[in-house]
Chain A
Amino acid sequence: QKEVEQNSGPLSVPEGAIASLNCTYSDRGSQSFFWYRQYSGKSPELIMFIYSNGDKEDGRFTAQLNKASQYVSLLIRDSQPSDSATYLCAVNWRGNYGQNFVFGPGTRLSVLP
C-alpha cells in the first residue's frame, strides 16, 4: 500500500513568516515528488516538483527532499494571505501499469494578516 501522509492542519502563520509544510511517504521506490496548491472549490495547481535529495528553490518556495528519511517539505517564505489554501503533496512511483501519483490528504494553511 502506497501511503502519503500530511498533517491536515490548519496551520496558521502570520503574514511575512515562513510556513513549513511536511509530507512523509511509505514507498522507498518513489521517484519524484510534487507540491500542489488547491484553493477552495478549485482544481489543484502545480507549485513545485523535486526529484533529487536536497533543496530546490523557486521564488518564495523551497522544496526539500530527504529520500533516506522518506520526507519531503515545502517552505513558503514571506507568507501572504493569498497563500492561504490547501497544499497537497503527491508522490510519483512506477507501478505495474506505468507511473502513478499518490496524493496526501493535504494541509490547510491559513496566513493571518
Chain B
Amino acid sequence: GAVVSQHPSWVICKSGTSVKIECRSLDFQATTMFWYRQFPKQSLMLMATSNEGSKATYEQGVEKDKFLINHASLTLSTLTVTSAHPEDSSFYICSARDRGREQYFGPGTRLTVT
C-alpha cells in the first residue's frame, strides 16, 4: 500500500514554456500533498503544502505565480511550472499523507529546461 505516482518521470522543455507535473496517490486518500525540489547533491527543499480543496501554502522564497499548485481531489495534485527557465531545471518530488503521520514519496520528475 501507500503508493504515490508521478507523471511524467522526466521532461525536457524549451525556455519560456510551461510544464505540468501530476502527483497521484494510488491506494489511499491524500488529505495533504507536498511538493519538493532537489538540486544535485543537495537535500530536499519543500516548495509548498497543499490540502485538498484549498489554496496551497508556499514556503518563503517560492513564487506562487510561477509554481502553480492545484489539489482538486483527494488523489491528485498538480504542479505547473510556468514560463520555465534553465534555472528551474531540477528534480521535483511530491509526497502524500493520509490522516496518519507518515509521508510517502512519488518517484520524482526530472525537469530539464533548455
> Looking at B46, B57, B101, which has the most chain A CB atoms within 10 Å of its CB?
B101
Interface size of A by Cβ–Cβ distance < 8 Å? 24
**C-beta contact mask, B30-68 vs A, less than 8 Å → 1, else 0?**
001010000000111010010100000100000000000
* Chain B interface residue number, banded: 20 to 34
Let me know if B107 and A43 touch, CB within 8 A. yes
Once the chains are docked, how many angstroms separate the CA of A88 from the CA of B93?
15
The B contact surface, by secondary structure, is: strand
Q: Which residues of B contact A69 (CB under 8 A)?
A: none
Point out the residue from B46, B49, B108 that lies within 8 Å of A42, measured CB to CB.
B108
Q: Which residues of B contact A99 (CB under 8 A)?
A: 32, 97, 101
Q: How far is the CB of A61 from chain B (nearest CB, A)?
A: 15
B102 within 8 A of A: yes
